Amino acid sequence: MSEPAPELVDAVAELAFAVHARLTALAARHDLSLTQMRLLGILRDREPPMLELGRHLDLTKSSVSGLVDRAARRGLVERVPGASDGRVVHVRLTDEGRTFARAVEQEAAKALSELLEPLPEPDRARLAQLAVRVTRGAT
């Protein structure tokens, strides 16, 4: 392992905080937590059971229950009984939730690309490329 080079590590951490803060603020403007926003994103192309949802979000089943309760109360998602296994409950977006999720997602993309505006185009692509290489090899 090579020497950490602390200020370089700091730079990456600061970028991460900036991204996180932007997304959190955006979510808050729609009365969503970042977790709720991620929930909508996950459900965009899936109808997973509660436990699987928990794996995606790294939450316990009880936390997922509460999360889905609150989203369902707002009419964004709904629970669907499993067809083959009576114990399983799938979660899916309602029509309203899908429309909403789509809008929020577009805003998020816009917010992040605004954040990246200090970089001219070729560097932006370079940053993204490096980011991909890190996350591909990540835990």
Distance CA 64, CA 127 (A): 34
Told to check if 103 binds a copy of itself by CB under 8 A, we report no
* Residue of 13, 79, 90, 98 interacting with a copy of itself (CB under 8 A): 13
For a copy of itself, which stretch binds (CB under 8 A), given 63-71, 81-89, 93-101, 104-112? 104-112
Three-state secondary structure call for residue 58: coil
The first and second tokens of residue 8, run together, are 């370089």
DSSP per-residue letters across 8-52: HHHHHHHHHHHHHHHHHHHHHHTT--HHHHHHHHHHTT---BHHH
Q: What torsion do the CA atoms of 93, 44, 110, 36 make, to the nearest 10 degrees?
A: 50
Radius of gyration of the chain (CA): 18
Residue with tokens 């900036």: 18
Told to check if 139 binds DNA by CB under 7 A, we report no
Told to check if 21 binds DNA by CB under 7 A, we report no
Told to check if 118 binds a copy of itself by CB under 8 A, we report yes
Q: Name the residue nearer to DNA (CB basis): 24 or 124.
A: 24
Q: Name the residue nearer to a copy of itself (CB basis): 51 or 130.
A: 130
Told to check if 79 binds DNA by CB under 7 A, we report yes
Closest distance of CB 28 from a copy of itself, Å: 11
Q: Which does 67 bind (CB under 5 to 8 A by kind): DNA, a copy of itself, none?
A: DNA
Residues lying near a copy of itself in the complex (CB under 8 A) are found at 1-2, 4-9, 11-23, 58, 108-110, 112-119, 121, 123-139
